[in-house]
Structure 1
Amino acid sequence: MSSPRKSEKIGRSFQDNNKEDREDEEKGGFVGKVKDFIEDVGDKIEEKVGFGKPTADVTAVHFPYINLKKAGIVADVLVKNPNPIPIPLIDINYLIESDGRKLISGLIPDAGTIHAHSSETVKIPVNLVYDDIKDTYRDIKPGSIIPYRIKVDLIVDVPVFGRLTLPIEKKGEIPIPHKPDIDVEKIHFQKFSSEETIAVLKLRLENKNDFDLAVNGLDYDVWLSDVNVGGADLEKCAKIGKNGVSYMDLPITFRPKDFGSALWDMLRGRGTGYTMKGHVNVDTPFGAMKLPISKEGGTTRLKKNKEDGGSDDNDENEVS
């Protein structure tokens, strides 16, 4: 049988525990009420003042320039700020990958501010160096088109919400251009004299790319037997399909006496070397490009036309 003193201790113990529980409940209830009050005030401020989460989207991807060494890529990101105050763009993280393989990545800190109740386009410029990716991924060849995915994380700081990350992405294709191959297949003389000779080069232009080229101009210089016979900067139009071939007539004017004995070797059919260098301006599905053209080590055999004293056997001049 329990003693009265022991029962009294147990009773006091239960009373103390109940008191502590009530205090914890009251304390927890108070903290909870304060928390609920703060959240309620925040919701009302957000509702009254009009705070909201910003949104972002990649609206376009541009290629300002493309050449044999690198491509300039600019991603246009439209950011909408629904808030009554400006929000800072803390950082922009970007990644460009192809088939899950990283091509380039980077960070743009302190990227600016988006004004209150406005939409602004943020430009993300990137330089993609072809040698870097070709050295890393051997299967990426000149003349090919590779798929890409741009991933962007915009980090913004918004009142009420705090720091937010807005992830966005865009898919497309990037060209890895290859310079066209050229050959001077024929040289046709329109006028032949010791003081001035006018000729037309029959140029064969081969597109080594997996995309079309629309030629709208070219500049070139020509050497015959190590003598510069001049060149020109012409507006020429021709469309060359992917991996296709086109032909152009290019005029040249020179003085045969500048060649010395080399000219007589050419006229006797012994042949002489020729070199051609220049650039071709083309439009492509990815934008305008200026691609180099060059040919060294070609051999020509020249013959005059019949009206200039040549034979009937071959009115056009042979090139090999």
Structure 2
Amino acid sequence: MAGLIDKAKNFVVDKVANVEKPEASLDDLDLKDMSCDAITYSGKVSVKNPYSTSIPICQISYKFKCAGREITSGTVPDPGSLKGNETTKLEVPMKVPHSVLMSLVKDIGADWDIDYELELGLTVDLPLIGNFTIPLSKKGQIKLPTLSDLFTK
């Protein structure tokens, strides 16, 4: 009897492990807004839903690192849902105070840009499986705004 239960358990585990899951990619990171106290960056995420029904997104968590240091982190709660059999575009806003960017001045150098790494966790609620987090990361360079950029907006 125990052998039959183990076989049934393994069968279910194998089927759940092979269930098709949404796929996501981190497409871009752009400067969204500048104010006197902060710069807001926007991460662009594309998520492909393989199911015919929509899937709710529980949250998007992020860590934004520059020059090896975390400069901001947070979550975007309840950003909507993924449409069935489509690719949904999501935006993840990240507000970075100027004081934090100014602490990176030594790392910026003469070219006025900094290396960044953005880590995202897209948590969706899959039927039968429950909450499933899709990890994403992207590395690149951010061109920082100059003083004239701040005063012309």
TM range (shorter): 0.7 to 0.9
1:56 has 2:30 as partner = no
Q: Structure 2: which amino acid aligns with 1:153?
A: G
Q: Partner of 1:132 in structure 2?
A: 100
Q: How does 1:194-273 map to 2 (within 5 A)?
A: none
TM-score (norm 1): 0.41
Distance apart, 1:145 and its partner CA: 1.5
Q: CA deviation at 1:142?
A: 9.7
Report percent identity of matched pairs. Answer: 25
DSSP 3-state at the match of 1:64:
strand
CA distance in 1, matches of 2:8, 2:145: 65
1:153 aligns with 2:13: no
Q: Does 1:30 align with 2:4?
A: yes
The 5 Å alignment of 1:1-320 reads: 27-35=1-9, 39=12, 43=15, 52-66=20-34, 69-134=37-102, 136-137=103-104, 139=106, 144-179=112-147, 289-291=149-151
Identify if the C-alpha distance between structure 1 residues 137 and 33 changes in structure 2 by more than 3 Å, giving closer, same or farther.
closer
CA distance in 1 between counterparts of 2:126 and 2:35 reads 41
Which amino acid letter does the alignment assign opposite residue 170 of structure 1? K
Q: How many residues align?
A: 151
Superposition CA RMSD, Å? 3.1
Query: By how many angstroms is 1:149 displaced?
Result: 1.2
Question: Which deviations, in whole Å up to 9, do the C-alpha atoms of 1:84-123 show, x marking residues without a partner?
Answer: 2221111211011012201111111122111211110011
Tell me if the contact between 2:67 and 2:104 (Cα under 8 Å) persists in the aligned partners.
Answer: no
Deviation, structure 1 residue 65 = 3.0
Higher relative contact order, chain-length normalized (CA < 8 Å, sep 6+): 2
Residue pair 1:67, 1:177 contacting (<8 A) in 2 also: no
Structure 2 portions without partners, runs of 5+: none
The offset of 1:67, in angstroms, is 6.0
Q: Deviations over 1:184-243 (max 9, x none)?
A: xxxxxxxxxxxxxxxxxxxxxxxxxxxxxxxxxxxxxxxxxxxxxxxxxxxxxxxxxxxx
Q: CA 1:64–1:121 in 2, change beyond 3 Å: closer, same or farther?
A: same
| Counterparts of 1:111 and 1:58, CA distance in 2 | 16
The whole-number CA distance in structure 2 between the counterparts of 1:60 and 1:128 is: 17
Secondary structure of the 1:117 match is coil
Quickly say closer, same or farther: Cα 1:91–1:117, change in 2 above 3 A: same
Distance 1:34-1:170 versus aligned 2 partners, 3 A rule: closer
Q: Please tell me whether the aligned partners of residues 108 and 114 of structure 2 are also in contact (alpha carbons under 8 angstroms).
A: no
Q: Which has the larger radius of gyration?
A: 1
Unaligned 5+ segments in structure 1 are 1-26, 181-288, 293-320
